[in-house]
């Protein structure tokens, strides 16, 4: 028996099942949705089961309510294979007026035209990401991100990480795919991300809607996109890069592929934080390129941990993606949203983490310590700008709860300017 590793989503799911009729868990394939859902379900129906799949799909078409019979909560795995089940679940929740009835999982966004009701108030949506370093037992979790919101003066000085830079680079290459942790060798662990990428390009981008797409062109797009991860590179420039290195691709094809990759929870761009700190003409509203897991970029670029160790510029961009994945996981239960700030004066902050209650933190990501001063300077400039605009009455938002630099170092400490320096290997 493989040991189940607890996920942050476990607590969210338990809480939601106490007051929601149904919960939908979405996210990329292989991130652990089904395994986690099974820990909370009392009966299961897997629509992808090759033995019963045809019968299930026929029943879903003629008598969908029959598939909902069973002990509750009942797990309906990959429900999007039979979209009729959505309205059946909604109807069942309405009729029973009870909570904790169904858990649905899905690896693709379903076309809204295939369902009659949004499910609002009855079916709650949870996004599951690949595993964070704390969930995979690599971060020691000695510093809680949420504790810093509750106590910004928390003493972190001297807390140490167990992870080295080579450890982090391997984790970036392997990714947060649970199955990789069950493999015996490092080579086998690294193959999971590459297999995921191949299946994504060869199968998933076609089966999502039945439209045949060119796997080679999708791989070309992913490779060019990966070269620009953690950047504000315009889509027109990525299209030009594809055309230069991999052959022709029209804008229509490019945007179709991008849309499909978003529907498959592969592309996870970082949107701009827009509290109108500067005038509208001075703000940049473009999103930053990002994947839901850093290993996708590594696999698309066909890089190895050894190559990344000698290319720390690329490694730094992929490290940022790793940090964003983890911070998204650690803040999800409190409604955390990872955004970024970038204005036309080129003041840029990697992460503005905003909680559902309006509290927020300013965070920079630096793999090494050489860029620490640059990161600290950006944080202080943005905080000073916020204070100045508050005093002039131009904005009405609180000051950041705290500022931090998350890095690949060994020791946590608080700088004289109040900025927390936190190794990602200490964070939870």
CA distance 297 to 217: 16
Residue 107 lies in a domain: yes
- 115 with 190, same domain: the answer is no
Cβ atoms of residues 350 and 240 within 8 Å: no
- 212 with 119, same domain: the answer is no
pTM, entire model: 0.94
- 111 with 251, same domain: the answer is no
Residue 137 lies in a domain: no
- 233 with 105, same domain: the answer is no
pLDDT by residue, tens only, the chain of 428 residues: 578 999 999 999 999 999 999 999 999 999 999 999 999 999 999 988 877 677 888 888 888 899 999 999 999 999 988 888 999 999 999 999 899 999 999 888 765 555 555 566 689 999 999 999 999 999 999 999 999 999 999 999 999 999 999 999 999 999 999 999 999 999 999 999 999 999 999 999 988 888 889 999 999 999 999 999 999 999 999 999 898 887 889 999 999 999 999 999 999 999 999 776 655 545 567 899 999 999 999 999 999 999 999 999 999 999 999 999 999 999 999 999 999 999 888 899 999 999 999 999 999 999 988 889 999 999 999 999 999 988 887 788 899 999 999 999 999 999 999 999 999 999 99
Residue 3 lies in a domain: no
- 201 with 58, same domain: the answer is no
CA distance 131 to 293: 9
Task: Identify the three-state secondary structure at position 115.
Answer: coil
- 167 with 278, same domain: the answer is yes
- 188 with 108, same domain: the answer is no
Pairing of strands 22-26, 102-106: parallel
**Last residue in a domain, options 127, 159, 181:** 127
- 115 with 164, same domain: the answer is no
Residue 135 lies in a domain: no
**Last residue in a domain, options 92, 127, 162:** 127
- 210 with 243, same domain: the answer is yes
CA distance 170 to 394: 46
- 331 with 405, same domain: the answer is yes
CA distance 220 to 191: 19
- 258 with 114, same domain: the answer is no
Residue 132 lies in a domain: no
| Domain interval for residue 358 | 145-426
Residue 241 lies in a domain: yes
User: Which residue intervals of 97-214 are DSSP H helices?
Assistant: 145-150, 165-174, 186-199, 205-207
Residue 198 lies in a domain: yes
Tell me the C-alpha to C-alpha distance, in Å, between residue 395 and each of 85, 268, 277, 341, 389.
46, 29, 7, 16, 6
For position 63, which CATH number holds? Answer: 3.40.50.300
Cβ atoms of residues 423 and 366 within 8 Å: no
CA distance 129 to 126: 10
**Last residue in a domain, options 66, 100, 127:** 127
- 99 with 216, same domain: the answer is no
CA distance 255 to 372: 36
Domain count, the chain: 2
């Amino acid at each position: 028996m493989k040991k189940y590793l607890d996920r942050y989503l476990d607590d969210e799911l338990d809480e939601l099942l106490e007051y929601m009729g149904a919960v939908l868990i979405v996210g990329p394939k292989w991130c652990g949705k089904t395994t986690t859902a099974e820990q909370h379900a009392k009966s299961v129906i897997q629509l992808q089961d090759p033995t019963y799949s045809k019968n299930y799909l026929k029943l879903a078409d003629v008598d969908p309510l029959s598939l909902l019979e069973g002990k509750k909560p009942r797990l309906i795995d990959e429900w999007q294979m039979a979209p009729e089940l959505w309205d059946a679940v909604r109807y069942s929740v309405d009729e029973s007026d009870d909570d904790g009835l169904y858990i649905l999982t899905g690896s693709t966004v379903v076309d809204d035209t295939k369902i009659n009701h949004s499910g609002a108030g009855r079916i709650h949506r949870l996004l599951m990401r690949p595993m964070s370093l704390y969930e995979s037992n690599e971060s020691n979790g000695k510093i809680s991100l949420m504790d810093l919101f509750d106590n910004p003066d928390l003493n972190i000085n001297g807390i140490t990480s167990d992870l080295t830079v080579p450890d982090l680079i391997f984790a970036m290459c392997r990714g947060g795919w649970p199955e990789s942790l069950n493999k015996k060798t490092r080579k086998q662990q690294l193959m999971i991300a590459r297999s995921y990428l191949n299946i994504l390009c060869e199968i998933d981008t076609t089966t999502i809607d039945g439209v045949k797409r060119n796997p080679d062109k999708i791989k070309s797009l992913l490779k060019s996109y990966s070269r620009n991860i953690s950047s504000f590179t315009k889509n027109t420039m990525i299209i030009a890069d594809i055309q230069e290195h991999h052959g022709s691709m029209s804008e229509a094809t490019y945007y179709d592929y991008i849309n499909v990759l978003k529907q498959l929870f592969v592309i996870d761009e970082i949107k701009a934080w827009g509290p109108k700190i500067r005038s509208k003409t001075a703000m940049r509203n473009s999103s930053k390129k990002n994947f839901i897991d850093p290993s996708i970029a590594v696999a698309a670029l066909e890089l190895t941990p050894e190559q990344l160790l000698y290319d720390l510029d690329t490694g730094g961009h992929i490290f940022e993606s790793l940090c964003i994945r983890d911070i998204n996981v650690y803040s999800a239960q409190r409604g955390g949203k990872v955004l970024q700030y970038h204005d036309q004066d080129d003041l840029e902050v990697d992460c503005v983490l905003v909680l559902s209650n309006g509290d927020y933190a300013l965070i920079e990501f630096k793999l090494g310590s050489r860029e620490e001063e640059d990161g600290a300077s950006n944080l202080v400039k943005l905080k000073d700008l916020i204070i100045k605009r508050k005093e002039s009455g131009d904005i009405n938002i609180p000051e950041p709860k705290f500022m931090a630099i998350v890095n690949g170092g060994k020791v946590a400490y608080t700088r004289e300017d109040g900025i927390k320096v936190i190794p990602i290997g200490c964070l939870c």
